[in-house]
């Protein structure tokens, strides 16, 4: 039976790499897929991994009906055996409904990849709808790590190395951006609550001890 599968995890846990691997494995068996993405770090119409792998994709802009796109492709003699969607958290809820319709009405497997919560620990609308509709939800087993070594569970937005908790929900960035730019960092819950990024931790380690010290 075809399924809508949601692969979720924090940033930097290998979601895009797995999406590319799934596509590679199926294409090696003679299957042909359609890849959708939104706001990839490599630019419009790209699916890229931090390992340096990049492939062409269809940019799933807010006005794109994903179901209608597949129907149009198939009606014109095109082939589609499965669908991959990267950065699925950025899709509108109605586009997630369209993915479910692709599974139910067209009989195609849909593999969606995305993070569940934003830098404020709030669910992305697309991810929320996926959690409501997916036949299966898979938590990626490759664990991203906080700077302290604990399992990273939260995504933090940084500007100049400092964590911010206000602003637009979607601002394209990456975990490898220079500190002075808008970037992202994965943190454990404890350090996300304390707004302690790796830069803040380094600064704290270098600061003088402010606790009173009794002199002998």
Q: Which of 44, 56, 59, 87 is catalytic?
A: 87
* pLDDT at position 216 over 70: no
Q: Which two tokens stand for residue 170?
A: 């979607």
Q: Look at 87-96, 117-126, 163-172 and tell me which has the smallest mean pLDDT.
A: 163-172
What average pLDDT does the segment 3-13 reach? 86
- Tens digits of residue pLDDT in 64-84: 999 999 999 999 999 999 999
CA distance 207 to 197: 15
Closest by CA to 97, choosing from 70, 130, 128, 75, is: 130
CB-based burial, 139-171: b 16+ in 10 Å, e otherwise:
ebeebbebbeeeebbbbbbbeebebeeeeeeee
Average pLDDT, the chain: 85
- For the question of residue 44 being annotated catalytic, the response is no
């Amino acid at each position: 039976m075809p399924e809508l599968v949601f692969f979720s995890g924090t940033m930097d846990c290998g979601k895009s790499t797995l999406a590319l691997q799934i596509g590679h494995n199926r294409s090696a068996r003679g299957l042909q897929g359609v890849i959708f993405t939104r706001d990839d770090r490599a630019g419009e119409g790209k699916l890229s991994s931090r390992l340096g792998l990049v492939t062409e994709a269809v940019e799933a802009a807010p006005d794109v009906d994903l179901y209608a796109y597949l129907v149009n492709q198939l009606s014109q003699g095109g082939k589609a055996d499965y669908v991959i969607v990267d950065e699925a958290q950025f899709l509108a809820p109605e586009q997630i409904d369209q993915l479910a319709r692709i599974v139910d009405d067209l009989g195609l497997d849909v593999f969606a990849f995305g993070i569940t919560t934003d830098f404020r620990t709030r669910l992305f609308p697309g991810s929320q709808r996926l959690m409501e509709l997916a036949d299966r939800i898979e938590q990626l087993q490759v664990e991203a790590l906080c700077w302290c070594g604990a399992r990273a569970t939260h995504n933090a937005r940084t500007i100049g190395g400092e964590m911010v908790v206000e602003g637009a929900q979607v601002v394209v960035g990456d975990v490898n951006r220079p500190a002075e730019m808008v970037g992202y960092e994965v943190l454990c819950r404890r350090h996300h609550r304390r707004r302690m990024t790796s830069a803040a931790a380094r600064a704290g380690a270098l600061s003088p001890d402010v606790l009173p010290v009794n002199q002998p």
